[in-house]
């Protein structure tokens, strides 16, 4: 049965009820004129039948919820496809039959919703000494490296050059944003920083980050310095990074690759 047929049936039913009510009112008026007082009518319906079908045919309860559900699933499907494959908006437009300018807006909207809902659950930076100590134990058991509380590095994500971006986002022949992350021994992110321009170095991004500030000020709950195995000197716990980062008591990096001694090669390994 089509929507038009249903609507026609509802209108006819409503007109029939209206005609019956008019007839009943005419009868009541005639009785009033004859007897001098109105006859009390017995109520036929507490709720008219066509109103009770609101959840079945009503715009809000049926059409609006249907559109909302389909719209959400379509947005999520397009975003997941984009994130998984890196397809262009034009390609997605023909695949999902959604205009590319709409896709450019909805992908950002869905990503922001995912971040708002799951960021604190998926990426939880430790804040207590016990939590950092657990990460250090993971590095010790898996990688045979003591006192490590995280591995730090940056990754360039290719983008189209923003309008009037100039060389600000240029990196080795392409434009990019920098994703910097701190991971535990199982490669799980425990802190991220996203959005620095591609021309910046990893050291610059880290020096401008909140992680650097709280690490330098020692107010993030790192364990107290204690000896390494088979030693009696206290060594602080530290983050490890590549040669692009500065050397600090809380940030360890390898020796430069030029003119290494055997001991330095062993240390880097």
Q: Which residues of 174-213 are buried (b: 16+ CB within 10 A; e: fewer)?
A: ebbbbbbbbbbbeeeebbebeebbbbbebbebbeebebbe
d(CA 245, CA 242): 6
Which residues lie across from 178 on neighbouring strands? 156, 196
pLDDT band at 3 (very low <50, low <70, confident <90, very high): very low
In this prediction, residue 169 carries a pLDDT of 82
Domain ranges of the chain: 1-57, 58-122, 129-268
- Whose structure tokens read 């390898």? 254
The 8-class DSSP code of residue 248 comes to B
- Whose structure tokens read 């262009």? 88
In this prediction, residue 154 carries a pLDDT of 94
Among the ranges 12-21, 52-61, 99-108, 154-163, which has the highest mean pLDDT value? Answer: 99-108
The 8-class DSSP code of residue 208 comes to T
Query: Which residues contact residue 22 at a Cβ distance below 8 angstroms, ignoring those fewer than 6 apart?
Result: none
- Whose structure tokens read 């107290």? 224
pLDDT band at 25 (very low <50, low <70, confident <90, very high): low
- Whose structure tokens read 């790192």? 222
Region for residue 81 given its phi and psi (left: phi exceeds 0; alpha: psi -120 to 50; beta: otherwise): alpha
Question: Encoding tokens for residue 145?
Answer: 């490296």
pLDDT tens for each residue of 190-236: 999 998 988 888 999 999 998 888 888 777 889 999 999 899 999 99
d(CA 159, CA 176): 5
DSSP 20-73: HHHHHHHHHHHHHHHHSSPPPPPPS-SS-HHHHTHHHH-IIIIIIHHHHHHHHH
Which residues lie across from 175 on neighbouring strands? 170
pLDDT tens for each residue of 148-199: 999 999 999 888 888 877 778 888 888 899 999 999 999 999 999 998 988 8
In this prediction, residue 66 carries a pLDDT of 61
Average pLDDT of the segment spanning 91-107: 90
Helix (H) / strand (E) element for 107: namely: helix 100-122
Query: Which residues contact residue 36 at a Cβ distance below 8 angstroms, ignoring those fewer than 6 apart?
Result: none
More reliable by pLDDT, 210 or 46: 210
In this prediction, residue 45 carries a pLDDT of 53
Lowest mean pLDDT among 17-21, 51-55, 210-214, 234-238: 17-21
Q: What is the dihedral angle through the alpha carbons of 95, 97, 99, 102, rounded to the nearest 10 degrees?
A: -90
Give the residue from 76, 71, 73, 102 showing the smallest Cα distance to 89: 102
Q: Which residues of 233-269 are buried (b: 16+ CB within 10 A; e: fewer)?
A: eeebbbbbbeeebeeeeebbbbeeeeeeeeeeeeeee
């Amino acid at each position: 049965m089509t929507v038009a047929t249903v609507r026609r049936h509802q209108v006819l039913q409503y007109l029939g009820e209206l005609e019956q009510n008019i007839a009943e009112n005419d009868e009541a008026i005639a009785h009033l004129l004859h007897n001098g007082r109105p006859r009390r009518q017995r109520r036929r319906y507490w709720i008219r039948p066509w109103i009770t079908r609101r959840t079945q045919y009503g715009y809000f309860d049926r059409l609006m919820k249907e559109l909302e559900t389909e719209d959400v699933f379509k947005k999520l499907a397009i975003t997941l496809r984009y994130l998984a494959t890196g397809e262009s908006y034009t390609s997605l437009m023909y695949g999902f039959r959604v205009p590319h300018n709409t896709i450019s807006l909805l992908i950002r909207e869905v990503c922001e919703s995912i971040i708002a809902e799951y960021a604190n659950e998926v990426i939880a930076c430790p804040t207590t000494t016990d939590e950092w100590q657990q990460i250090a134990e993971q590095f010790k058991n898996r990688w045979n490296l003591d006192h490590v509380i995280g591995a730090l590095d940056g990754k360039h994500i290719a983008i189209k050059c923003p309008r009037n971006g100039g060389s600000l986002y240029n990196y080795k022949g392409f434009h990019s944003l920098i994703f910097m992350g701190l991971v535990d021994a199982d490669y799980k992110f425990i802190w991220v920083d996203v959005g620095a321009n591609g021309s910046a170095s990893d050291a610059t991004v880290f020096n401008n980050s909140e992680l650097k500030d709280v690490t330098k000020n020692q107010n993030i709950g790192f364990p107290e310095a204690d000896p390494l195995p088979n030693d009696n000197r206290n060594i602080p716990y530290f983050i490890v990074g590549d040669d692009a980062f500065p050397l600090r008591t809380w940030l360890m990096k390898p020796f430069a690759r030029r003119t290494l001694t055997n001991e330095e090669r062993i240390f880097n390994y």
